[in-house]
Amino acid sequence: MNKLENKVVLVTGSGRGLGRAIALELCKAGAVVYVTDIKIVDAEESVAIIKKDLPAEQQRNVFSVALDVREEKMAEEVIKSIVEIQGKIDILINNAGVNVTATVEDLSVAEWDRTVSTILRGAYVMSHTVFPVMKKQGGGNIINIVSSLAKRVKENSPAYVASKWGLQGLSQLLYMQGRKYGIKVTALSPAGMRTSLLLDRFPNLDQSKIMDPAEVAKVVRFVLELPEEIAIPDLFMMSTKEETWP
């Protein structure tokens, strides 16, 4: 049996981009996937697109749910509902994120708060909520989608950089705390990808030099299919054609 078959997965921010690609890849692996997004219309669109790539018998295993990861009560209700229906939650992918291109002088405090609360607070809210569930069931996986900008600093992304550096540290702490309960935590840091998060801000970017999110999704699947005794706490990946590293 496929290692991911019938595993219950929640992917945040999966209404488009990398989150959608991850949801599709894990559905193909036989998982039961909850596509969540702050915009339910985007989540529903993802589910419709994903179902087109799945055999009929697997189409019933993908669901759309509205979720604002910043809201603790909402997160609790979503997790509780999934556990009541499925009896468990095996995998959490903390992918939700936003970015604003602006200098320190130009980035408003409101934009800072929205970015940090979505990326860093959101990942904590979700991990905080799912941790006791995974402890009780004897294990699970959390993958935090960090960024190459947690390995370096780039101008004009102050809130995003700070959030991702914080998420890198949070991932390490979660790994240390979770391993004694069978909870594996991975900080996955991809460099540039062909997603709207990047292309909406830089429409003239040479797309041949950045990654296809579908390939990053395959790496997520690889991490989740590792033997139980193997963990990858930290993973950085980038296109061989990208010229921004080191």
Q: Which residues are catalytic?
A: 147, 160, 164
Residue by residue, what is the 3-state secondary structure of the chain?
CCCCCCCEEEECCCCCHHHHHHHHHHHHCCCEEEEEECCHHHHHHHHHHHHHCCCHHHHHHEEEEECCCCCHHHHHHHHHHHHHHHCCCCEEEECCCCCCCCCCCCCCHHHHHHHHHHHHHHHHHHHHHHHHHHHHHCCEEEEEECCHHHCCCCCCCHHHHHHHHHHHHHHHHHHHHHHHHCEEEEEEEECCECCHHHHCCCCCCCHHHCECHHHHHHHHHHHHCCCCCCCCCEEEECCCCCCCCC
Query: Which residue in this structure is represented by tokens 């894990």?
Result: 26
